[in-house]
């Protein structure tokens, strides 16, 4: 069984520089997930709706977006598409997360799910966060050499 305990963040750890926009309308889950990610060394801001997330993204300039599939005002894929269209949006690592199985999420979202990098199960684990940060760092490295 995989551990869900965050890896301690060492001083100077590169994760502490990464900004995450967490989009989750269930406040207790949003707060618990943000606290978990902060313990992991990430700078986290929470939005509870798609519109709030889009407004927040302009000022916060996230590098990773973790978005609930279903929000009160729009679908997670709609938020992802809007974020991709913003300046710097193509370099974002965007993940949808849901309590539904990935196959059900993909079937429900169809081709629109292609705009996201990953579809993840709830709850988020340390391994999931490691994978998202690794993907971000890999993408940034490729962009520097291109």
Transcribe 22-78 into DSSP letters.
EE-SSHHHHHHHHHHHHHTT-EEEEESSHHHHHHHHHHH--SEEEEESB-SSSBHHH
Domains of the chain: 16-145 (3.40.50.2300)
pLDDT, greater one: 2 or 142: 142
pTM for the whole thing?
0.83
Q: Does residue 10 register a pLDDT over 50? A: no
* pLDDT score for 3: 42
């Amino acid at each position: 069984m995989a551990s869900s305990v965050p890896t301690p963040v060492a001083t100077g750890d590169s994760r502490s520089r990464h900004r995450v926009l967490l989009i989750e309308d269930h406040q207790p889950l949003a707060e618990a997930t943000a606290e978990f990610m902060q313990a992991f060394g990430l700078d986290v801001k929470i939005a509870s709706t798609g519109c709030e997330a889009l407004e927040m993204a302009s000022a916060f300039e996230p590098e990773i977006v973790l978005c609930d599939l279903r929000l009160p005002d729009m679908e997670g894929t709609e938020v992802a598409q809007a974020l991709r269209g913003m300046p710097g949006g193509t370099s974002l690592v965007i993940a949808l997360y849901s309590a539904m199985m990935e196959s059900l999420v993909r079937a429900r979202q169809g081709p629109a799910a292609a705009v996201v990098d990953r579809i993840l199960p709830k709850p988020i684990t340390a391994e999931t966060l490691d994978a998202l940060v690794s993907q971000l760092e890999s993408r940034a490295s490729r962009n520097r050499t291109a």
